[in-house]
Chains A and B, each alone.
Chain A
């Protein structure tokens, strides 16, 4: 994205645990932090004075719906990565529930190729856990891992089968990939739209029963 060095002057750095109050300069070269210190210099046009703004590693969104391929009228990788950038997210895990679903290495490769072409942020595909995201048989996680899938899950679809989830957890171990699950029991949740509690009762909305209420 960026060509030539860039200087963020007088920022407060968030180091992942806490904000370091003392204003500091950060010089970025070829997209990588090259120096952190005081009184750093770069050519004038690339010198940004922030006066106490916060700076830190980019955020990672673990769950985003890219809708590309297939439903680009809702969202595509350009709009997704622009939105991510605007919010300080530099990497986004995209759900596999696209059309077709990302349950095959060819789809994984397509997503990554498109994301590279746009190049606005790191797009990390979540591969489908099950074939066609139906929750019945395992998807080819090995081939998708090789293609660049970073984790596996069926996106927003809850696992119907505990047995398949167990198999997926075992199988993914061989490829050193985590499993993401949508932690909800579809049967119990039904068409609920809100956690069950005083507010669901007050608003008269269909509620999703939670374990602690049972």
Chain B
């Protein structure tokens, strides 16, 4: 196994928990990203495995549906030689009425080292972190944060754009219900990026500007001169259907098509955290076009999650 090129975790890492990017310093974010670069190199090898977490138990505790995030975390843990267990809401004691805290305490009794949790309630990972002794990694809590998605987005942006200081990043769509947006707003600004958010006013949460970003209720000003455009999924399952008249109208005024993409800088990056609704928030030719880094985001997700668990 080739482990020679790997660094020791920097002084400011490891963190006991990763609950959100709001609490991290720019240095901590950059340390995780530097480590991710090494992990990406590991993933490019023929034998994609490190012994680092041998004997460590990682539990994925997903109380909300997920495919790619859970698989990405499990793969990351396995590549670091951890033992993994997964726990989903539908098959669990939660469905039988147990409280989250009781479930977590029972899981803790089995001595996991890290619990990766996704929950529909904002703050659930923080509650767990205060309740149990093992490390907690937030894999998405309600509309609050999705720190590893934020990190992988920032990693992808830095790979393509270098230093993010002064770079304009437009985040477009349902900002109100998006944990991806919040993590990106916190993380990108710490690295000096100029973050613009846009969507119909029904999808822009109250006082979003107080997080430091610029908000628009039309797409065009946010897109203008942007170095990267991040499209968010229209999350119908998280809201009543009263925020937009129809998918058709949404696409017409807020969707990313080739014409609108021309407002951004030449060669601007097109990103999407997935899963995509083609023809609702993004045109297929843009999603599959040569400015799209959507699949690279997924690829980088494994490396970033390895770095977080490392």
Contacts and interface: CB of A to CB of B under 8 A. Distances in A.
Whether chains A and B associate is yes
A131 B245 contact: yes
Contacts of B200: 170-171, 174
A163 B242 CA distance: 9
B249 A142 contact: yes
Interface residues of B, number: 16
Contacts of A41: none
A137 B252 contact: no
B249 A140 contact: yes
A137 B242 contact: yes
B111 interface: no
Nearest to B250: A142
Interface in A119-135: 131
B245 A170 contact: no
B280 to A, nearest CB: 14
Contacts of B202: 167, 170-171
B242 A167 contact: yes
A131 B246 CA distance: 10
Contacts of A147: none
A167 B217 CA distance: 13
Interface string A125-156: 00000010000011111110000000000000
Contact of B241 (A137, A141, A170): A137
A105 to B, nearest CB: 10
Contacts of B249: 140-143
Contacts of A167: 202, 242-243
Given A143-B252, A174-B217, A138 B245 contact: yes
Nearest to B201: A170
Contacts, number: 43
A138 B241 CA distance: 9
Contacts of B217: 173-174
B201 A142 contact: no
Contacts of A60: none
Given A143-B252, A174-B217, A137 B245 contact: yes
A184 to B, nearest CB: 22
A164 interface: yes
B158 interface: no
A140 B248 contact: yes
The SS class assigned to the B binding surface is loop
The SS class assigned to the A binding surface is helix
B257 to A, nearest CB: 15
A193 B63 CA distance: 54
A171 B201 contact: yes
Contacts of A164: 242
A142 B251 CA distance: 11
Contacts of B245: 131, 137-142, 171
A163 B239 CA distance: 13
Given A170-B201, A173-B217, A142 B242 contact: no
Nearest to B249: A140
Contacts of A139: 245
- The residue among B200, B217, B252 with the most chain A CB atoms within 10 A of its own CB is B200
A174 B242 contact: no
Contacts of B248: 140
Nearest to A161: B242
B127 interface: no
B244 interface: yes
A143 B244 CA distance: 12
Contact of A142 (B240, B241, B243, B252): B252
Contacts of B241: 137
A174 B252 CA distance: 13
A170 B246 CA distance: 16
Given A137-B241, A143-B252, A171-B243, 6 more contacts: A137-B245, A140-B248, A141-B245, A141-B249, A173-B201, A174-B253
12 contacts: A140-B246, A142-B249, A142-B252, A142-B253, A164-B242, A167-B202, A170-B200, A173-B217, A174-B201, A174-B217, A174-B218, A174-B253
Interface of B: 200-202, 217-218, 240-246, 248-249, 252-253
Interface of A: 131, 137-143, 163-164, 167, 170-171, 173-174
